[in-house]
Amino acid sequence: MAELKNDRFLRALMRQPVDCTPVWMMRQAGRYLPEYRASRSQAGDFLSLCKNPDFACEVTLQPLERFPLDAAILFSDILTIPDAMGLGLYFETGEGPRFRKIIRSEADIAALPVPDARADLDYVMDCVSTIRSALNGRVPLIGFSGSPWTLATYMVEGGSSKDFRHVKAMMYDTPELMHALLDKLAQSVTRYLNEQIRSGAQAVQIFDTWGGNLSDRAYREFSLAYMDRIVQGLIREHEGRTVPVILFTKGGGQWLELMAATGADALGIDWTTDIGNARQRVGQRVALQGNMDPCVLYANPQRIREEVATILQSFGHHPGHVFNLGHGIHQFVEPEHARVFVEAVHELSAAYHQ
C-alpha cells in the first residue's frame, strides 16, 4: 500500500500533535454534490451505487476533488449487514430504507445467520480495497458500520421509525429476544469491521444513530454494552499502524464518560453538546470528533467561519480534535458553503497547534 501523505486525521484520533485540525464531513459523498447525483443516475439507484466498486470509488473521491478534506469515508450504507442476513433491503423513493422481511419473533431471530463478512459482503470489501488503492496514500480511508441497536431498530421496525414502537416493545416486553438479536448483530459488526480493516480501512466508526432515543438504563444495557463488546473484538493494529475506533451516538452527549470507558480512541458528538465541556469531562482519555450543526452550512460564509471559530475556541489548545459536522451534511447545502467550512477549519485552527 502507498505511504500516507496526509496523516493528520489519524494523528488527531490518537491525540498526537498536528499542524492544524483535520476535518471531514459525515455524508461528504452525497446528494448535495451534482456530480454525485449524476453518478447515482448513471448507476441506476442507490444500492447499485453501493454494490459497484467502481461507482462507490468514484463517489467516495468526488468530495476530495472539491475540498481539502483530511479523510475519505467508504461509500456504503449501514444496512448492508441486515441485507446480508437475508432481510431484503430496498429503498422506497421518499421513504428511505425498507426490508422485505421484518424481525418480530423468537423464530425470526433464531433463523438469522451471522454473515461471513468476506463471502456475504464481498462487494463492500471490494469497494474498500478499490478506494484504498485509488487514494494512493492521499488521505486515510474510514470504514464504518451501524451499531447493533441501530441495526436492530431498522430490522424490527422494518425501516425508519418515528416512535420506535415495535423495537422498544420487544426491548421492554421480551428483553431476552432483544439480547439474542443484539448478540448476533455484535458478532456480525465485529467481523464486518475487521474485514474492512483487512481490506484497507485505516480507521473505523460505529454509527449509533438511534441510541440517543433510549433511557439511561436502556442505553447502557441495549446499546453501549454491545458497542463495548465490538470495540474489544476489533483489530487495533494493521499495516504497522494503530487502527483508531470512533464511537458516535447521536444524542448521546450525556454518556461520554461511559463511552470513553469502552477503550474507543475517539467519540463523535453532535451539536447539542458543547465540545469544550465534553473535553473537560473526558480529559485526555479520548479524542473528540465534531460538532457543528449541519444547518450552519445554510448560512452565509462569514457566519460559517464564525461558527468554526467558536467551536475551535471552545475546544481550545489541546490535541485530539477532529472537526466534523454533528451529523451528516444536508442535501440542499451549497457545495461552495462546504468549501468555506473546510478551508476555515484549516485556516483558523493553525493557531491552536503552534
pLDDT digits (tens, 9 = 90+) for 264-290: 999 999 999 999 999 999 999 999 999
CATH classification of the domain holding 226: 3.20.20.210
Residue 3 lies in a domain: no
Residue 2 lies in a domain: no
Residue 106 lies in a domain: yes
31 assigned ligand-binding residue: yes
19 assigned ligand-binding residue: no
Of all residues in the chain, what percent carry a pLDDT higher than 90? 95
Q: Is 40 exposed, middle or buried (0-12, 13-18, 19+ CB in 10 A)?
A: middle
pTM of the full structure: 0.97
- Which of the residues in the chain have pLDDT under 70? none
Q: Name the active-site residue from 7, 70, 77, 208.
A: 77
77 assigned ligand-binding residue: yes
- Mark whether 226 is an active-site residue: no
- Mark whether 27 is an active-site residue: yes
* Res 162: pLDDT: 87
232 assigned ligand-binding residue: no
Task: Tell me the residue range of the domain where 84 lies.
Answer: 8-353
Residue 57 lies in a domain: yes
**Residue whose C-alpha is closest to residue 267's, from 245, 292, 243, 242:** 245
Residue 1 lies in a domain: no
28 assigned ligand-binding residue: yes
* Res 160: pLDDT: 86
Residue 19 lies in a domain: yes
209 assigned ligand-binding residue: yes
- Mark whether 154 is an active-site residue: yes
27 assigned ligand-binding residue: yes
Chain mean position to CA 190: 15
| Total domains present in the chain | 1
Residue 189 lies in a domain: yes
* Res 173: pLDDT: 98
Distance CA 11, CA 266 (A): 11
Residue 240 lies in a domain: yes
Q: Name the active-site residue from 32, 36, 154, 219.
A: 154
